[in-house]
Amino acid sequence: MSSIPGTNDELIELVKEQGIKLHPKVSIGKSELGGVGLSFNPENLKENEEIELLRIPKSSVFNINTLLEVLQDYKGKEGIESDIIIELLTLIEPNNETHIIITYFIAFKYIEKLKSLPGYIQEYLKILSDTFTISYPEEDVKGADKWIIEYKQMANRIKEEYECINSKMAEKFDISIEFSEYWQIYQAIRSRILEIPQEEEDGYSIDITLVPILDFVNHEHQNNAHFDIDKQTNDIILLLDKIPSSEKFEITINYSPENEIVYFYKNYGFRPKSKNNYQVINLSIREYIAEKFKDGLMICKWIGIYPEIQIIFNDDEVFMNVFNLGTLFNNLKYHPDWDDLLCENFKRFNSMKDNEFDKQEILEWIKYQELEMDLIYGVNPIGVLRDGSDDPYNAEDLEDKLDEAIQFVVDYFKLKIDESVEVGDSSFSLMIKDYEEIKKDLFKRVIEQFEKGEKLDAYDVHKIRFRNYRSKPREYTG
């Protein structure tokens, strides 16, 4: 298959066979945004014409329902295809819709080693194989940001899964695939998945779906198109919202309401181009708090501070959300004997009586939160005292010292700005290099703005809405 799927005659023929309809002025080709994209030529359009760019029948997408139909079809025929799919579903035990879809396509990859797949599946498997993905991270990520370490851990789990699965498939069916093929399917599907709204009697649900051709459409914050469901036919349709140019232009949709760049790195392997739209980066300051405050992280857990700050920026502006970090600057200390206060406080906090809870169970629950969670819930912050006092900290007495918090963050940036990261030439390394470069540039801009006495707090410049796009802390939800 060519690197540009739209030039492949076999793909175009299969698109027609599947009933996928492309507007005659839509073409598939290389994208300035990266990889492959869809373009539109607006010449000779009728005035006020509603433009349907693309229509994909529901039967031509890949989701848990259509893939189940593929399995049922295999069951009605001779051969071991259905046995391979069922074996992999049993071994992998996928726990969400995306993982189920990945498992099916891994099964198709194994089947492909034995015999030809149905044409439409075969061609889409080729598309997945040619999709740009971030390489498996061979590099040492010690000391890297939290999300990079978590990415590496995720990759290691996938490799361990592959080694177990591939060994069992070789033993039972005498077939195997390379880890690079396994990894590619995982990564390509994660980057191409779309959330398709489905109308129901009491509202909407979301179908996790691979939508051929629509998944060639690239992201742009100021998008010119959107996809929807035709309520009459359940077809997925791509509609043009605006014509940004009288010349041929690329069709774009919006993958995410805000350009939170780590989200894009993790899911798509790239950082979206700014074009002066605001972008967001969330940065952990966990280690710096632990270094500068005795028992600092434990205090943060008790008073509800998630040790992370947020930078909001575009080409011309930069702001920060430090959230409630300023409450840390109130001469606080950890209260190791909080368990003496637990039962009475838990009872008052939850409006309960002595016979309505198990004291030992509650003690173990709070200790578990101290060890494993980022924030502690279920009681008042009895684990914190004001320095020089034996009285449990009272949240109403704390001042949010914003200026001290911003100074603290700026000092941290000054320490980090000269640190360098060793990277190779793999796509994973290049992604990390890009991330580190944008981080250093932001550190420099924040420091310069602070030293000029200019506003940095996002709240003051009405950018508080970006708080919705911070990382989620680990917290008890039971």
The pLDDT of residue 15 is 78
- pTM surpassing 0.75? yes
Residues 6+ away with beta carbon under 8 Å from 20: 54, 55, 56, 57, 60, 212, 213
d(CA 322, CA 222): 27
Token pair in block for residue 349:
């906090």
98: amino acid identity, one letter:
T
Which of the residue ranges 134-148, 252-266, 351-365, 393-407 would you say has the lowest mean pLDDT?
Answer: 393-407
How confident is the model over 241-259, as a mean pLDDT? 88
The pLDDT of residue 17 is 84
d(CA 176, CA 181): 10
| 81 pLDDT above the threshold of 70 | yes
For 108-124, what is each residue's pLDDT tens digit? 999 999 998 998 999 99
The pLDDT of residue 143 is 76
d(CA 296, CA 299): 5
Confidence tier at 5 by pLDDT (50, 70, 90): very low
The pLDDT of residue 392 is 72
Confidence tier at 2 by pLDDT (50, 70, 90): very low
Q: What is the DSSP string of 262-327?
A: HHHHHHHSSPPP-TT--EEEEEE-HHHHHHHSTTHHHHHHHHT--SEEEEEE-SS-EEEE-TTGGG
The pLDDT of residue 471 is 82
Confidence tier at 463 by pLDDT (50, 70, 90): low
Any idea what the Cα angle at residue 465 is, between residues 460 and 470, rounded to 5°? 110
How confident is the model over 184-200, as a mean pLDDT? 90
| 458 pLDDT above the threshold of 80 | yes
| Burial of residue 199 (number of CB atoms within 10 Å: 0-12, 13-18, 19+) | exposed
| 470 pLDDT above the threshold of 60 | yes
CATH 2.170.270 domain range(s) in the chain: 5-59+211-255
How confident is the model over 380-393, as a mean pLDDT? 82
Token pair in block for residue 468:
């919705």
Q: Pick the more confident residue, 47 or 256.
A: 256
Nearest CA-CA partner of 447 in 411, 401, 475: 411
N-terminal to C-terminal alpha carbon distance within the chain = 49
d(CA 258, CA 21): 31
| 359 pLDDT above the threshold of 50 | yes
The pLDDT of residue 462 is 56
Residues 6+ away with beta carbon under 8 Å from 131: 35, 184, 187, 188, 191, 192
The pLDDT of residue 245 is 84
Which of the residue ranges 12-26, 219-233, 330-344, 459-473 would you say has the lowest mean pLDDT?
Answer: 459-473
Task: Write the class of the CATH domain 5-59+211-255.
Answer: mainly beta
How is residue 440 annotated by DSSP? H
Chain-centre distance of CA 347, in angstroms? 39
